[in-house]
Amino acid sequence: MSDGSVATDSADADKGNAANARADSLPVPGVGHRWRRALVIILAILTCTSILTSTIGVWAHRTLLNTDSWVNAVGPLASDPQITNALAVQLTDELMQVINADQVAQNALPAQAKFLAAPLTEGVQQFVQKIVEDLLNTQQFATFWVDANRRLHTAAVKVLRGDTTRVSTSNGTVQIDLLPLITDALNVVQQKAPGLLGDGTKIPDITSGTPIDQARSELSAAIGRPLPDNFGTVTVFQSNKLKAAQDAVAMFDRLVIAMLVLTVLLLIATIALALNRRRIVIGLAVGMIVALVIASAIISSIKTQALDLISSPDARGAADATISTLVSRLQIMTNGLVAVGVAVALIAFLTGPSRPAVAIRTWASRVTRFLAGKIDHDGPPASMIWIQRNVNVLRWGGLLVGLGLLLFVVSGWWSLFFTVLVVGLYEAAISYAAAREPVSAAPVS
């Protein structure tokens, strides 16, 4: 490199340092530096905490109280072995109440073979469970699972928000209806082993639209004996807890909005009062990253402790799959924010007046000159002129390419991180080039 280009780089760096120093240290009349620094530190801590709580609040609100988000999250669980195994055990227990295999075995065996009743009953239960497991591995069950979750979640949210006029519940109780699955399994049992249900037994046609009490009554009449009041259902919540749940949801709705507004205000106040705004931006980015990493560790610990409280292995597996699916949405949000934080911190550092940042920019400028060539001895590289003439196209092009990658290509944490980082650095480089003194193409000698 020539001495002229080195001198130009140094002059540019000095100009950038002076401009950055003026921009980063804007005075605020009437506020002492010592108290101002202490206030900014407190505000920065509150801002990072508010970003963390707002992120968790938005995730919980959208995932747990938005039906489309809920269905999108839990829909794929229809093919999860932990879910299907737990549901197979539940359905088999319900079906054995209908079949009454012990009584069937007692009636079918002669007196001298009554001792075979217990093994025969166990064999019937295994036979029924195999039928249920096969049923849960069909597209029919996947469709039922999505439809059931959509109906249940819609009803639950309306009840929680106090809209009980358009939701049919029994005394404020919301239940999961398994009766359509039970009748589908009974039809298969009837085809493969008609004697288990008795000759001539006709299974009623029960769909997801059949009221629970009516469906239970029809099935009871078909098998000729009463069924328990809770047969074929799983209670989500009951009326004695409904009022408290409605109050909590109403408060949660207001709290999420308040936290978002507070986060924005804290962020603006922290940056506005900072003595060195570039430094506080870097500090906020790093603090947000630390807070999100700590939160992820706390959530994982809480999840482990919650699962330890479940004694049944099948239920624990189903709960683990469900919680992991829901928490993965939160992890995507936190990972995205971590990537943004890293990108912001790097961009703020590399465009700052510190010696390492100036050295990196000077080195990058020299490399650019070497690779792109120069119009004349002391003039700017041709690439700089072209960037300044097409800066808007380059900015929007970079954003569109980054958005396309996020929508159609990015599928993991590392790819998300590098995509956000590269797009951020690209936009920073374009902005840095555009902010330099305007250049014009001098004639080539």
> Is the domain of 15 the same as that of 109?
no
DSSP string, 272-283: HH-SSHHHHHHH
* pLDDT value of residue 7: 46
* pLDDT value of residue 112: 61
Q: Do the strands 233-237 and 174-177 form a parallel or antiparallel pair, or are they unpaired?
A: antiparallel
Domain assignment present for residue 244? The answer is no
As for how many domains the chain has, the answer is 2
Q: Is the CB of residue 277 less than 8 Å from the CB of residue 271?
A: yes
Domain assignment present for residue 19? The answer is yes
Which residue is it, tokens 């603006």?
Answer: 268
Q: Residue 382: which domain range?
A: 3-25+292-435
Given its phi and psi angles, is residue 232 left (phi above 0), alpha (psi -120 to 50 degrees) or beta? Answer: left
Q: Which residue has the higher pLDDT, 130 or 122?
A: 130
Domain assignment present for residue 195? The answer is yes
> Is the domain of 207 the same as that of 306?
no
Q: Which residue has the higher pLDDT, 279 or 445?
A: 279
Domain boundary among 206, 237, 268: 237
Domain boundary among 191, 219, 237: 237
Over residues 279-293, the mean pLDDT reads 84
Domain boundary among 193, 213, 237: 237
* pLDDT value of residue 444: 43
The first and second tokens of residue 177, run together, are 């209806």
* pLDDT value of residue 110: 64
Q: Which residue has the higher pLDDT, 135 or 190?
A: 135
Phi, psi of 235, deg, nearest 5? -80, 130
Over residues 203-229, the mean pLDDT reads 81
Residue 233 forms beta bridges with which residues?
177
Domain assignment present for residue 260? The answer is no
- pLDDT higher than threshold 70 for residue 1: no
Q: What's the pTM value of the predicted model, to 2 decimals?
A: 0.61
Mean pLDDT of the chain: 75
Domain assignment present for residue 41? The answer is no
Kindly state the DSSP code that residue 198 receives in the 8-state scheme.
-
* pLDDT value of residue 6: 43
> Is the domain of 106 the same as that of 226?
yes
Domain assignment present for residue 155? The answer is yes
Domain assignment present for residue 394? The answer is yes
> Is the domain of 228 the same as that of 305?
no
Domain assignment present for residue 49? The answer is no
